[in-house]
Amino acid sequence: MTASETVVASPGRTQRGVSSWLIFGTGLGVAVNGDQLDVAVARSRSASPQLKAAVTIRDFRTRAAAEWGAELLQFLASVGEPHLAATITLPREEVIVRTVLLPGVADKEIPAAMELQLETLHPYGDEEVAWSWLRARPDTVLIGIVRRASLDYWETLFAEAGVPVAAVTFSSAAIYAAIRIWSAAPASFLLCFTSSSGRIEVYGESDARAVYSAELAASPERVAAAARAELRLSADSQPLSLDDALPAPSPITVMNYSPLAWATALTASAPFTTRVANFLPKERRATNARRQYAVTAVLGALLAIGLLGAFVIYPAVERRNYLAALNEEVRRLEPSAKQAQSLEQAITATRARVDMLDQIRRRPQADLDVLAELTKLLPAQVWTNSVEIFTDSVVIAGEADQAGPLLKLLDSSPLFQNSEFALSVTRNSQMEQFRIKTMRRNRAGRTTP
């Protein structure tokens, strides 16, 4: 049994709430699968999705684009959806898939944040690339990177075929979005299926990793074991097939279809609730004509108008009246508030002046204490030429037979600390000339009044 045939019962699903009302639309999904294009048309409503039709366009690489393009357009016309623009899922081997931790970064800031580290996420060097993203967790972003030349090739090919393209995405993003349209995804699961290159593609989610996506050339058993290790899943966790993980079409009218094309079509069919990770720039994206939604849109607009009046306009009027009453009260109290502010400023200025006068009053006595302490400390053999007293320090210049012991002598005083020579000591005859700077204790950092 191959990995794509592995079938295990899918975990239980949780039904969505009010947001399911916004699920409606029709999408065209195209999955590139080697030399063929797997095509599916999905019609989504709030109750369940419907697979309207599916087809395989074979040998498109060797046929003229206009030829297989006409075949695809004829298929769309036969199912009554000639207006649909395609959402294309590129081959897995052409896309680099990464998950990036961006905690606390808002959606609008993610493009700028990713541009700063984009070069570290792919091996293409200076080659131009295109990239797109979707948020996998509040702190994790799923990003796909493709060569610009590859993207231009597919865009040009479908343009030559006459098929409009709304989006170009990658398998991990399509699967992530499709399994969440109608229900919450299981906390942990692993999918294994055969990719377009014939290798085994794995997709999984767990508490340890928001999204794990890889394409490996090994046996299904070894691929599953490696994926379980990456996701920190137990050894008895069995992989699901992609078909089992996706919402089942209801009613089942098409038996043979590509699960990846179905996932892509589902993602395209619910534009109001699902974000497509789209490599195409906005200006180059085709849009689907939605004339069939005219009646629904009119009814929705009428309902929105009623809700607008009940929940938006009336509260807005009440808020405006309340704001007007608050502004009137502010205007009434404004003179008193200004008077109180003036009094507070006057009190602050007076306190500052009082503090300044206190400092000026205390300054002479403190300086006299410094002189008295120096007179007591310095031996009779020491001559002082000058004593400069500052707010936080004292500078002493003079002569002594030995200047070195003076530093320790000054530091022994309760008034001085951290004494040091301000200039090198010089000897003249029998005396040493010195200039010492000593810090006043408990005076550091004060300013002169």
Give the pLDDT confidence of 389-404 residue by residue, as tens digits. 888 899 999 888 888 8
Q: What is the extent of the structural domain holding 70? A: 3-289
pLDDT at 367: 81
Alpha helices in 210-313 (DSSP H): 220-231, 242-245, 259-269, 294-308
Phi (first) and psi of residue 77, to 5 degrees = -65, -35
pLDDT value of residue 299: 66
In a shared domain, residues 68 and 213: yes
Q: Are 167 and 265 in contact (CB under 8 A)?
A: no
Q: What is the DSSP letter of 238?
A: P
Residue 245 CA to residue 247 CA, distance in Å, equals 7
276 and 188 in a common domain: yes
Specify the pLDDT at position 365. Answer: 80
Both 379 and 276 in a single domain? Answer: no
pLDDT grade, residue 64 (50/70/90)?
A: very high
320-374 tens-digit pLDDT: 888 888 888 888 888 988 888 888 888 988 888 888 777 666 667 888 888 888 8
Is residue 279 a part of any domain in this protein? yes
310 within domain boundaries: no
pLDDT for 211 equals: 94
Together in a domain, 393 and 277: no
pLDDT of residue 263: 94
Short-list 362, 387, 359, CA closest to 372: 387
Nearest to 98 by CA among 64, 132, 139: 132
3 state SS of 17 = coil
- Greater model confidence, 403 or 11: 403
Write out the H or E segment, with its range, that includes residue 320. Answer: helix 314-377
For residues 249 and 373, membership in a common domain is answered with no
Other beta carbons within 10 Å of 317: 10
Rg (C-alpha) for the chain, rounded Å, is 40
Taking the C-alpha atoms of residue 319 and residue 365, their distance in angstroms, rounded to an integer, is 65
Mean per-residue pLDDT over the chain, rounded: 85
Q: What is the CATH number of the domain that holds 371?
A: 3.30.1360
Same domain? For 118 and 17 the reply is: yes
pLDDT of residue 296: 60
Do 34 and 133 fall within a single domain?
yes
Tell me the one-letter amino acid at 441.
Answer: R
- Which residues are CB-contacts of 276 (< 8 A; sequence separation ≥ 6)? 87, 134, 167, 169, 173, 177, 267, 268
Residues 6+ positions from 243 with CB-CB distance below 8 Å: 259, 262
114 and 236, same domain (yes or no): yes
pLDDT at 36: 95
The pLDDT score that the predictor gives to residue 326 is 87
Query: In the chain, pLDDT over 70 holds for what percent of residues?
Result: 89
Structure tokens at 147: 């060569």
Among 245, 273, 289, the domain boundary falls at: 289
Residues 7 and 130 in one domain: yes
- Choosing from 289, 323, 346, the residue where a domain stops is 289
In this structure, the answer to whether residues 370 and 282 fall within a common structural domain is no
Most confident of 175-179, 336-340, 373-377: 175-179
Which residue has tokens 């043979």? 256
Weakest-pLDDT range from 60-64, 135-139, 383-387: 383-387
Same domain, 267 and 415: no
Is 346 part of any domain? no
Alpha-carbon distance of 256 to 249, in angstroms, equals 12
Residue 8: helix, strand or coil by DSSP?
A: coil
Cα–Cα distance, 275 to 177 (Å, whole number): 7
In three-state secondary structure terms, 116 is: helix
pLDDT tens-digit readout, 138-168: 999 999 999 999 999 999 999 999 999 999 9
On whether the CB atoms of residues 194 and 200 are closer than 8 A, the answer is yes
pLDDT at 357: 74
pLDDT tens readout for residues 286-332:
876 554 455 566 667 777 777 776 677 777 888 888 888 888 888 88
Number of domains in the chain: 2
How far out from the chain centre does Cα 73 lie?
Answer: 40
Measured CA to CA, the distance from residue 15 to residue 48 in angstroms comes to 11
Check residue 303 and give its pLDDT: 74
- Tell me the per-residue pLDDT of 14-61, one tens digit each, with 9 for 90 and over: 445 546 677 888 999 999 999 999 999 999 887 789 999 999 999 999
Residue located via tokens 């993003």:
173
Give the Cα separation of 49 and 266 in Å (integer): 8
Q: What is the pLDDT of residue 297?
A: 62
Is 340 part of any domain?
no
d(CA 45, CA 176): 19
**Residues forming a β-bridge with 240:** 191
Residue ending a domain, choose from 289, 313, 348: 289
In a domain, 158, yes or no: yes
Coil/strand/helix, residue 365: helix
Q: What are phi and psi of 97, to 5 degrees?
A: -115, 130
What pLDDT is attached to residue 363? 67
Residue 274 domain-assigned? yes
**Over residues 65-80, mean pLDDT:** 95
7 token code pair:
């079938």
The CATH number given to whatever domain includes residue 115 is: 3.30.420.380
Strand partners, 95: 146
Residue 120 domain flag: yes
Neighbours of 99 (CB within 10 A): 17
- Any domain includes 163: yes
pLDDT digits (tens, 9 = 90+) for 118-135: 999 999 999 999 999 999
